[in-house]
Structure 1
C-alpha cells in the first residue's frame, strides 16, 4: 500500500536513502561514515521541510515493512530543503558541512529527488508504482512537470523512466558525476 510517509518511518526510510547516497559517492558520507549519516538522516527526517523529510515523501508498505520510498519537492524549494540538516549539524558542533553542494533541479518543475526500493522487494514493480504515485505529490504542490536525474551509469533506471514517459531535457553535474536530466508532464490521477 502506498501512503504518505510518517515520522515513525524514519529509520527504515533512511536506510533506503543511504543506499542512494553510497551510489552517489558523496563527500559527506566519506567524511561522516555510514552510521553517522544514517543517524543524521533519521533525525532530519522528522522535519517536514527537509529534503528527505516525512512530508515530502511517499512509501510503499508491505506487511508492515517499508519496501520503497519516493521523495521530491518543487524546484523553488531547493534553497531551503537542506536547512534542517545544516541546523542539526551546527547543533552538534559540526559547523558548515553540507550533504549536497550542486543544484539538481531545472526551473518550473517538481523534482523527484529520490526513489528507492529495498533489495528484498526489487523486481516486483514497486519502483514503477512509486514513480506513478509521485504525480500525487507534484499535483499537491501545484506543479505540472516532474523532473529527475538519472546517472549515466544506470541504464536500467533510464529505461524505466523512458517507459514512464520521461524525456531527456539536458545534462547536469552532481557531486562530480554526469546525470541525464529528464522530465515529463504530470499524469492525471489514475
Structure 2
C-alpha cells in the first residue's frame, strides 16, 4: 500500500534516505557519521517543512514495514526545506551552519522529486515504479504540473526507470561534485474510471 508518510515513520525513512546520502558521498556524513545522521533525519521527519518531512512524502508499506519512500517539494520551497535541520543542530548545541546539501537541485516551475528509495529486501517487486507513479499526487497537491528529478549519470538502472515513466532529459546539474542529468515529465492525467 502506498500512503502518505507519518511522523512515526522517521526511523524507517531515515534508513532509506541514508542509502542515498552515502551514494552522494556528502561531507555531512563525514562530519557526523551515519549513526548521528540517522538520528538527525529521523527527528526532523516530524517537521512537515523539512526536505524529508512527513508532509512531503509517500511510503510503500508491506506487512507493516516501510518498503520504500519518495520525497519532494515545489522548487519555490527549496530555500526553506533544510531549516528544520538547522534548528535541530542548534538545539543539540551543534553548528547549525553545517549543511547537508550545498547545491540547489530543483529547476524553476517544477515539483522536485528529491529522493526515492526502496529497502534492499523489497527491491525487484515494482515498488520504485509504484512510488514514482504516486508522486503525481504530491505534485498536484502542491499545484504543480511538472515533476523534475536528477539522476546520477553513474546509475543507468535508475535512468531507465525514469525514461519508462515518461521523464525526458532537460539539462544537467552538478551536485556535491557529481554530474547529474536533470529530467522532467508532466503530471499524468488521473484515470477516472
Query: What's 1:72 paired with?
Result: 72
Matched, 1:26 2:26: yes
Offset from partner CA, 1:39-88 (integer Å, 9 cap, x none): 00001010000000000000000000000000000000000000000111
Matched, 1:162 2:163: yes
Query: What's 2:107 paired with?
Result: 106
**Aligned mates of 2:117, 2:11 — CA distance in 1:** 14
Unaligned runs of 5+ in 1: none
Runs of 4+ in 1 over 2 A off after TM superposition: none
Unaligned runs of 5+ in 2: none
Q: Secondary structure at the match of 1:10?
A: helix
**Aligned mates of 2:44, 2:98 — CA distance in 1:** 14
Q: TM-score of the superposition, structure 2-length normalised?
A: 0.97
C-alpha RMSD over aligned residues: 0.6
**Aligned mates of 1:185, 1:155 — CA distance in 2:** 22
Query: What's 1:86 paired with?
Result: 86
Give how far 1:94 is off.
1.5
Number of residue-to-residue matches in the alignment = 190
Query: What's 1:35 paired with?
Result: 35
**Aligned mates of 1:189, 1:122 — CA distance in 2:** 26
Q: Secondary structure at the match of 1:171?
A: strand
**Aligned mates of 1:53, 1:110 — CA distance in 2:** 15
Offset from partner CA, 1:112-144 (integer Å, 9 cap, x none): 000000000000000000000000000000000
Q: Secondary structure at the match of 1:32?
A: helix
Give how far 1:91 is off.
1.6
